[in-house]
Chains A and B, each alone.
Chain A
């Protein structure tokens, strides 16, 4: 979840994010404890972290006061929980049922309609973090202690305080601050459980946008070719003096030197005259492989001889890169690539069905 830290929820008593994709994963592999808000080498030592100083001032401030559970502890919610969790313990049904202790936080959740108990201090704290770019949030820890079971009919009240705000930390997800809240849950004035909840509120590490494919260099000599591509037509230059076809496009005829030309539209049929397979180095722009693996390369570059006789360099698609062979029949396909610079149409050559 990002951008709305516990919206409509009470911290620790309703902020219920979970791990983010790419979250802390590799670190968890090395250290079962994952990210620690305290020093573990994960964090960078803040120098003159003015924001951190301001955030620290909120430690001890109330995050929610005199909160009340929206519903009393009740059998239907218990049953729904048990169904979801696959929990068939007989302790949670029947006349002497208790609520599953791990439901503690659920009784304090604001749900879709949100909470009224949240204090200005907590909103301010989140606001400061949002304003500093720490707009995303993940829950990292939940620590609950149960002093006595909750039973249907119990009316839950709770108070929540901002227990601690960490120094600025840099994690795999991004840089931000761990905010720990502690919620005391009471029934009829008696403490029945405590709930400590820790979130990381962070500025997401920049995801690198995929590199855009290089654009063709269009000039007055080849503009006609690219206009043809835009129209989904493969145009070949023809010398109007001697009739020789030529590609790539040139200002004059290599056969007779004639400067004048017109075009013929190629049928699109061709064969692989030669090819290379690019393995290394990986080229970030060419992240799309025919296998759809989303990884860079390898990819096949074909020199395709058109039925009309001229040759053209482009990708050979429709078969794995290592199945491209000289002589394969191919047909032009106008493929649209969408990237950060917009849409780009390129002629590529697809292996004819049944070949390869």
Chain B
């Protein structure tokens, strides 16, 4: 998504939800891309031996998805300042996580967004993201290569 900057954020605004299909591929790709080789994130057999019904998403992937959710919405010039998340129920393959967000506060060009990611089991993640959204595209804004 390369949504254009949406102008100034307003407290109380609900962000459109983002559905993340929690595939086995996403779990494994996210774990490896974050250099997390804990077996419970890629080896279903070992995960079962440790009492889990299947592999499950690692916290770094969840963190990355929360960050993506915010920057998808506010656009490529938005700068993440803080991402603080807390995990709840696991993200297992076959589930869908729906990320929702609400702008809690705005201070100048900086917004605080409360994010919840829920799946069929309950809340996988709750968190708060602080993001700065430049009032106008800075003149030095990169003219990025099209990345579809």
Contact = CB atoms under 8 A, between A and B. Distances in A.
A259 B62 CA distance: 74
Contact of B147 (A90, A109, A111, A145): A90
Interface of A: 1-3, 16-29, 32-34, 77, 80-81, 83-91, 93-96, 100-103, 105-106, 109-112, 136, 138-146, 149, 204, 207
B86 to A, nearest CB: 5
B90 A19 contact: yes
Contact of A93 (B29, B35, B85, B147): B147
Contacts of B39: 1
Contact of A2 (B51, B84, B86): B51
Contacts of B76: 89-91
A29 B122 CA distance: 6
Given A16-B36, A21-B53, A81-B33, A88 B1 contact: yes
Given A2-B51, A83-B29, A86-B68, A19 B124 contact: yes
A90 B75 CA distance: 9
Given A23-B89, A32-B123, A88 B38 contact: no
Contacts of A96: 142, 144
B64 A102 contact: yes
Contacts of A149: 79
Interface string B122-148: 111010000000000000001011111
A91 to B, nearest CB: 4
A146 B147 contact: no
Contact of B90 (A23, A29, A103): A23
Interface residue SS majority, chain B: mixed
Interface of B: 1-2, 20, 26, 29-41, 50-53, 56-68, 71-72, 76-77, 79-92, 116, 121-124, 126, 142, 144-148
B4 to A, nearest CB: 11
A152 to B, nearest CB: 13
Contacts of B56: 18-19, 21
A28 B122 contact: yes
Contacts, number: 205
Contacts of B1: 88-89
A272 B144 CA distance: 75
Given A32-B123, A96-B142, A21 B80 contact: no
30 contacts: A1-B38, A1-B40, A17-B59, A18-B59, A21-B53, A25-B89, A25-B122, A29-B123, A32-B116, A80-B33, A81-B64, A83-B33, A84-B26, A84-B30, A85-B68, A86-B20, A87-B68, A88-B1, A100-B64, A100-B71, A103-B34, A105-B63, A106-B33, A106-B35, A111-B37, A142-B60, A143-B82, A144-B83, A145-B82, A204-B51
A172 to B, nearest CB: 11
Contacts of B20: 86
B21 to A, nearest CB: 10
Instruction: With a 10 A CB-CB cut-off, give which of B65, B88, B92 has the most chain A CB atoms.
Output: B88
B60 A105 contact: yes
Contacts of B30: 84-85
B96 to A, nearest CB: 13
A93 B145 contact: yes
Contacts of A81: 33-34, 64
A110 B144 CA distance: 32
A24 B33 contact: no
A128 B50 CA distance: 21
A143 B148 CA distance: 31
A17 B58 contact: yes
Given A103-B64, A140-B87, 5 more contacts: A86-B20, A93-B147, A94-B145, A96-B144, A146-B81
